[in-house]
Structure 1
Amino acid sequence: MTASRAQPLMIADNSELAAWCERWRTLPFIAVDTEFVRTETFFPIAGLIQVGDGEQAYLIDPLAITDWAPMVALLEDPQVIKVLHSCSEDLEVFHQLCGAVPKPLFDTQLAAAYLGMDFSMGYSRLVNALLGIELAKDETRSDWLQRPLSETQLQYAADDAIHLADIYKELAPRIEQAGFTAWLLSDTAEQSAVVGLQQDPDQAYRSIKQAWRLRPDQLAVLQRLAAWRERESRARNQARNRLLRETTMVPLAQRQPDSLQDLARIEDMHPRSVRQDGQQILELIRQGKAVPQDQWPARLPEPLPADANKMLKALRKVGQAHATRLGIAPEIMLRKKVLEAMVRTGYPGGPYQLPDELVSWRRQLMGEQLLQVANGTQEGNDVG
């Protein structure tokens, strides 16, 4: 099992994959990337798995492999750091492919932010910044399910694995020296933990944009539509918006059409949805309208008013001050959803509490101070 760095090694056999996974489990880290297709499906379809060990790129053909147990053991081996970049979709690919996600996980995009580089730094920019290499973008929209893959595709994929390993070699010592390794691994562990957790279809209506505008009786209709859309998208392996566009759902709940003609007049309603599922959509609307008043969902919270901006700004200053002191990109110190969740615990008059969304090292580092600022006992830019 030897190969030059310049020539990627293709793995399309179960026994060969098992042998390489056994070898990779002896290493301190591996770089991992995926190429996949998800244009119209609910679940991503893996087209290629790339592994880099710091010297060589390996390209695993998921269309040929049938036994993923060795890969699962590798992905879950606590002694081998798995290096990925901006990996939320990659985690979904692995979960769908083999029921496991990489851990422990070192996300190079997050690591760059911890080191004060731009927040959400793209892979090409990071490669250029750290390695001085300009990446070609020819294959970013490529069809990774075609066979055979072109030489250009294979080289593009191999380069990703090689560069990702080199980036890790640059970033990991800096993260360790700055004392951020445990924080970063804590963040990525939280990210991995939620992969594969299925949304309760009956709660899917809460995620629909503009749903807060609806009355409880209209929410009863939206709840039926959103639950059906969630279940059917999974069952058919079809993208939610291909089944029923989200932009149509609030208007459907408001106007409640009772004929295919009226349904087709809903703005942004795709003719395919009317043709394939129109009668089902009308039935769901009828069911929603028939829900007894005592079973209507409660109104959803409105967006925070402009008056809350002063409190949000004061809390944000706490994170910004710590970020400046530590040299971390301020966006990862306190996310917007955490700040808004905290304001909602007591708005408008208080007292305010720490929200469940504030966890781990952030809660330890800033929790008490955020409470003091929110409840008026400390200025936001005083980090002590």
Structure 2
Amino acid sequence: MTSALPDPLMIDHDADLAYWCARWLELPYVAVDTEFERTETFFPIAGLIQIGDGTSAYLIDPLAISDWSPLVALLQSPTVLKVLHACSEDLEVFMKLCGVAPAPLFDTQMAAAYLGMDFSMGYSRLVKALLNIELSNAETRSNWLQRPLSNDQVTYAAADALHLAELYQLLGPRIEAAGLTAWLLEDSAELVSTAGRVQEPETAYLNIKQAWRLKPSELAILKLLASWRERESRQRDQARNRLLREKTLCPLAQRQPDNLQALSRIEDMHPRSVRQDGQAILELIRAGQAVPEADWPERLQEPLPADANKLLKALRKVGQRHAVKLGMAEELMLRKKHLEALVRTGHPGGPYQLPDELSGWRRALMGDELLAVANGREQLA
């Protein structure tokens, strides 16, 4: 650190949390960060919550707080902007801890990309770039569930909250001056919406890599395995890949072992999974084999073929052109999922339509142009 920071205030009583949340509700924004543990558990375990108000840092001890309703009110207040950085995991922490995600949300990593900086700038690099402060990462992997916290942990956590507020004080006005605030808040709201979705076990198989290679009869087995894995991981609070590695799921559905010895020979199958859940896995495979053909899942879409690359490249140029014009990171302008969804609406011969995935400001800004390129009405150099 380049200069001494004010001592943070530790909040470890319900009454103190209620008092400070009432104070923060009067502010235009608060900077929010979390420290958590998530090595082998399904859900993140909150170890600390940091709040910055622009002048001071406050450290909330989740191991000592029992009434989270004041924080819920703050997180949901429409008049207080919540400032976070690269916040997908932080959102999971809040969903688990108190059932809500912070909104409205301003993500400083996203804001940096909106202003033409790198697409996925880490927090330390952004602090160095904008504040010229070198942050130590020594406490990043420390135990945030230990009590008492070390002095180094407290200093590290407080610095995060203080500097996050300083980043917003710089980035917020720049985003506003560029006329990009509404777009940024729209994208941030999408992050919050995604955090609030719970994976349905019955559709978990759709997210398994390489599942598109399987025949419908094999998908029937994969569907049961993936559904069981999702339910058990949540119930046991155990990481999915600790329970059963994803890389084993498609081979299990294809090779369909019928005994523990054959199960243990599946590539990437952990001996622990065989020992603890081998019989359950074999029963799931047998149940999948018994699924009537009429109930087999439909075959999944294959990846787009190589001959789609020319169109994808032309569509990507539309986004690149707008990114240059607006001074934004090009990865932010058009996402891969947007482009592929558009191509799938008409490949190989068209006509193409705008997919539901392309929505909001991107659809309004580029929709007509993308359709013109896709349907051959406009050519890009």
TM-score range, shorter chain: over 0.9
SS of alignment partner, residue 125 of structure 1: helix
Residue 357 of structure 1 corresponds to 357
| Cα deviation, residue 380, structure 1 | 3.9
Residue 126 of structure 1 corresponds to 126
Question: Partners of 2:5 and 2:64 in 1: how far apart?
Answer: 23
| Cα deviation, residue 345, structure 1 | 0.8
- What whole-Å deviation, never above 9, does each CA across 1:199-248 have from its counterpart, x for those lacking one? 12111111111111111111111011000001111111110001000010
Say if 2:32 and 2:84, in contact at 8 Å, map to a contact too.
yes
**Amino acid in structure 1 at the alignment position of 2:290:** A
Of all paired residues, the percent bearing the same amino acid is 71
- What whole-Å deviation, never above 9, does each CA across 1:4-58 have from its counterpart, x for those lacking one? 9510110000000000000011111110000001111111110000000010000
Residue 157 of structure 2 corresponds to 157
Residues 1:254 and 2:248 are matched in the alignment: no
Say if 1:83 and 1:106, in contact at 8 Å, map to a contact too.
yes
Residue 338 of structure 1 corresponds to 338
SS of alignment partner, residue 35 of structure 1: strand
Question: Partners of 1:35 and 1:279 in 2: how far apart?
Answer: 38
Say if 1:34 and 1:46, in contact at 8 Å, map to a contact too.
yes
Residues 1:177 and 2:177 are matched in the alignment: yes
| Cα deviation, residue 196, structure 1 | 2.8
Residue 186 of structure 1 corresponds to 186
Question: Partners of 2:142 and 2:345 in 1: how far apart?
Answer: 46
Residue 56 of structure 1 corresponds to 56
In structure 1, the gaps of 5 or more residues are: none
Residues 1:72 and 2:68 are matched in the alignment: no
Equivalent pairs counted in the alignment come to: 378
In structure 2, the gaps of 5 or more residues are: none
Question: Partners of 1:379 and 1:348 in 2: how far apart?
Answer: 17
Residue 239 of structure 1 corresponds to 239
Q: State TM-score, norm by structure 2.
A: 0.98
SS of alignment partner, residue 19 of structure 2: helix
**Most deviating of 24-33 and 187-196:** 187-196
Say if 1:5 and 1:57, in contact at 8 Å, map to a contact too.
no
Residue 135 of structure 2 corresponds to 135
Say if 2:5 and 2:159, in contact at 8 Å, map to a contact too.
no
**Amino acid in structure 2 at the alignment position of 1:239:** A
| Cα deviation, residue 379, structure 1 | 2.2
Q: State TM-score, norm by structure 1.
A: 0.97
Residue 83 of structure 1 corresponds to 83
**Amino acid in structure 2 at the alignment position of 1:351:** P
Matching of residues 247-326 of structure 1 within 5 Å: 247-326=247-326
Residue 97 of structure 1 corresponds to 97
- What whole-Å deviation, never above 9, does each CA across 1:287-325 have from its counterpart, x for those lacking one? 001111111111111111111000100110111100000
Question: Partners of 1:84 and 1:344 in 2: how far apart?
Answer: 35
SS of alignment partner, residue 194 of structure 1: helix
Residues 1:33 and 2:33 are matched in the alignment: yes
Residue 328 of structure 1 corresponds to 328
- What whole-Å deviation, never above 9, does each CA across 1:344-367 have from its counterpart, x for those lacking one? 111111111111111111110011
Residue 42 of structure 1 corresponds to 42
Residue 200 of structure 1 corresponds to 200
Residue 112 of structure 1 corresponds to 112
Residues 1:17 and 2:17 are matched in the alignment: yes
**Amino acid in structure 2 at the alignment position of 1:227:** S
Question: Partners of 2:333 and 2:278 in 1: how far apart?
Answer: 46
